[in-house]
Structure 1
Amino acid sequence: MTQFWRLTTQADFALLGNVVEHLDAVGLEAMSSWSLFDEGDIARLDLIFTEDPDIEVVRATAGFPAEMELSCAPMPEEDWVRLSLKGLKPVEGGRFTLFGAHDRDAVADGQIGIEIEAGPAFGTGHHGTTRGCLIAFSQMLDAGAVPTSILDLGCGTAVLAIAAAKALPDADILASDVDPEAVEESLENCRKNETPGIDCFVAEGLDHAKLAGRQFELVLANILAGPLVELAPGIADILTPGGKVILSGLLTEQEAMVRTAYEAAGLSVHRQPPLEGWETLVASKT
């Protein structure tokens, strides 16, 4: 069984959010995932490693302030799965319920179930960004939208692509991520959720032959504020007239920056209610 180490720190949510964005830009050797928890007056950031990390190297690489206390300890071999299964209860996001295999009987009548197993990977759906996207997508469906061409950009575990495939089984759905391991996990989740028609592939942003010349009625982009800003003109270009993009992965203090980028690209932007300090925007092309 793989041994994991958990490095933990507590601080202001916005400060830790900035650290997370920097982390995703620079990367950390042997880090398998991170989780940011809003716990009221103070937030907690957990970094999970597959090797015992050098705390000072992590501090310097991730940009943690010198005075911030970082603690690291090995996780008992049985701890990760046991605690994950205990703590990750089914989560509802609009008309969708995300669950682990241990909770297959917990999906309420009328809800669309998506099975995402607990494990050392980000994207089980318990994060406010994923829930925010699912709620926004549900509202679009409730309003009568039936997009037939959909791109899950930066798909992670493919939660959003799977949600789209289950709600709209006739849609043409693509899912891309810069991380080959994420794409492998996405393919496994598609198989497990009986949505094999989703085309999952590795791509750096919008740079891929499968995206060349394509336009989509809906783009799902749950990534981070920096990449969202950089991709704004390209995302606007690949939307069909009347198309929409659901944006998340941004902190409240980053909302104005991202909104401005998409308005500058010619889209009208609607702000969803924030969840756990994270924002979701829905931008439309006229």
Structure 2
Amino acid sequence: MSDSPRDSWKLSLPCTRAEAEALEGDIAAFALLDSPPVLMTSEASSDDGDAWQLDAYFEGRPNAALVRLVQTLVPSARGRKPVLEKLPQADWVTMSQQGLEPVTAGRFFVRNSNADAVPSGYKDFLIGAGLAFGTGQHETTAGCLAMLDRTRRLGHRFGNIADIGTGTGLLAFAALHLWPRAYGTASDIDPVSVEVTADNADKNGVPLGIAPGRLALFTAAGVDHPGIVTRGPYDLVIANILAGPLIELAPSLSGVLEEGGTLILAGLLDTQAARVLAAYRAQGLRLADRIDNGAWPTLRLRKRPAIGWHRPRRWPHGRNGEAPGYGSW
């Protein structure tokens, strides 16, 4: 019987403690992969503090090139034969994320367990380990949370917000916390992510619906859904995806953004930022702010306002994200 595309596989390699510590967070080598593996490291021996093991979990059997890519992450294992095994049917992504440390970004505290104590003064989100990307552990998600918090502290106001490629819904929840009177829209190409977002919304007290202060959910590739288009234009769009899709989506993301509106982009490497920025500058946007979280930058862009009486508007004057005193064209 042939393997199912959803079968789970594990690749194991020995590594050193230093190599294991270097693998914390997002891995630059996986940035262009559609379905990157989940990495876990653990001590291989209680008697040897430098003897560690790398386990890489895959959805589907990895090909030889992907195995070699993982091997490059642990040079000390050069010449050692990797152990590749098919796993029993199980939610290995959830298992791999159990026990992740909480993340603090801006005013937000993101945890995946009720056992984690919430510090005072932070907005708490419980995002359980699961099938969807975006738990808050990833540098890209944490960078977006920090950028949203900074944008609010600078005095920006938004009335219509969209989170494209929402994953777990975390960024949409954070944006609605910062701007509670706004209309909220969240979408993902993966229907599982949309289901996860709905479940997380219930756990975190985020109301769903089409009214102000509520979050409307859509399953769509990018903004390719009539519900997403008709709810626009948006004065804040968030897209934490990957560099390739961000470049491809530049015309459509810019198209649903209100003139003068704000676009927050993440999921790209610092070496890819110039190409991503070039794609959006061609659509009339300019870089307004940047946060670098390791090798993963978060970009805040602004769309150049049109000049003239015929400029289309949905929101009242002053509600398009402009922060008086912080510059404009």
Distance 2:104 2:243 in 1: 24
- Aligned Cα root-mean-square deviation (Å): 3.3
Q: What is the deviation of 1:233?
A: 1.7
Name the SS of the counterpart of 2:136 in structure 1.
Answer: coil
Q: What is the deviation of 1:121?
A: 4.2
Distance 2:150 2:40 in 1: 26
Distance 1:133 1:67 in 2: 30
Name the SS of the counterpart of 2:185 in structure 1.
Answer: strand
Residue number among 284, 293, 302 corresponding to 1:275 in the alignment: 293
Question: Are 1:226 and 2:244 an aligned pair?
Answer: yes
Name the SS of the counterpart of 1:268 in structure 2.
Answer: strand
* TM-score normalised by the chain length of structure 2: 0.69
Structure 2 unaligned residues grouped into runs of 5+ = 1-6, 42-52, 73-77, 209-214, 305-329
1:55-81 C-alpha deviation (Å, 9 max, x unpaired): 4xx335x59559857544577989976
> Residue 131 of structure 1 corresponds to which residue in structure 2?
142
Name the SS of the counterpart of 1:140 in structure 2.
Answer: helix
Deviates more, 1:62-71 or 1:235-244: 62-71
- Residue 282 of structure 2 aligns with an amino acid whose one-letter code is A
> Residue 193 of structure 1 corresponds to which residue in structure 2?
204
1:32-56 C-alpha deviation (Å, 9 max, x unpaired): x63599xxxxxx9965346xx544x
Question: Are 1:175 and 2:179 an aligned pair?
Answer: no
Q: What is the deviation of 1:7?
A: 3.1
Q: What is the deviation of 1:149?
A: 0.4
> Residue 57 of structure 2 corresponds to which residue in structure 1?
48
Question: Are 1:6 and 2:21 an aligned pair?
Answer: no
The count of aligned residue pairs is 262
Question: Are 1:262 and 2:280 an aligned pair?
Answer: yes
Question: Are 1:184 and 2:195 an aligned pair?
Answer: yes
Question: Are 1:59 and 2:55 an aligned pair?
Answer: no
Q: Structure 1 or 2: larger helix share?
A: 1
Structure 1 unaligned residues grouped into runs of 5+ = 38-43
Q: Is the 8 A contact 1:101 1:115 kept in 2?
A: yes
> In structure 2, do the counterparts of structure 1 residues 120 and 204 end up closer, same or farther at CA, with 3 Å as the change threshold?
closer
* TM-score normalised by the chain length of structure 1: 0.79
Distance 1:162 1:59 in 2: 40
- Residue 34 of structure 1 aligns with an amino acid whose one-letter code is V
> In structure 2, do the counterparts of structure 1 residues 141 and 271 end up closer, same or farther at CA, with 3 Å as the change threshold?
closer
Deviates more, 1:214-223 or 1:121-130: 121-130
Q: Percent identity?
A: 36
